[in-house]
Amino acid sequence: AWSCGVCRQQISGDALSLLGQYFHQHCFFCSSCRRSLQGQKCVSANNKLFCIPCSAPTCARCSNVVTSNGVNAIEKIWHKHCFNCAQCHNSFERDAGKFVVLNGEPYCIDCGNRRQTTVVASRPISQADKEGSCRACGY
């Protein structure tokens, strides 16, 4: 008798087999979307089963599955056409592939500089900032 690769209980009766492991029919489903995996391609990870769409990486911009030609940047996966400026949506190719990261999002150099200026200008003002910091009047 075999034990199920998901629930670890003993299997009596019909069993499904995958990569040398056996499963109850009622345990053979995707751990993410809960669809049956019978007759489907699937992946096993940490004693859990996943259908191919649920095991594939998703794009950080559009949340759709990235199947090929993905870009790995900022510790995320992106479709090549989705990896662009978060503000103006222009490709980074015009800046020779350079971009800046603000709050985990990629920005072209122009938009990044504008946003950084805005962020710095809108930060809370401390007492030290107030004393003698005005370039126009010195107050």
Q: Which two tokens stand for residue 120?
A: 């710095």
87 burial via Cβ count (<10 Å: 0-12, 13-18, 19+):
middle
Please give the mean pLDDT across all residues of the chain: 81
Query: Does 125 score more than 90 pLDDT?
Result: no
Nearest to 22 by CA among 46, 39, 5, 42: 5
Phi and psi for 34 in degrees, rounded to 5? 70, 15
Tell me if residue 47 falls in helix, strand or coil: coil
User: pTM of the prediction?
Assistant: 0.52
pLDDT tens track for 106-124: 999 899 888 875 444 434 4
Note the pLDDT of residue 31: 87
Note the pLDDT of residue 92: 86
Q: Which DSSP string do the residues of 11-26 spell out, in sequence order?
A: E-S--EEETTEEE-GG
Query: Does 35 score more than 90 pLDDT?
Result: yes
Q: Which helix (H) or strand (E) holds 43?
A: strand 42-45
Secondary structure of the chain: what % helix, strand, coil (to 5)? Answer: 20, 25, 55
Domains of the chain (ranges plus CATH)?
Answer: 2-55 (2.10.110.10), 70-121 (2.10.110.10)
pLDDT tens track for 41-58: 888 777 788 888 888 888
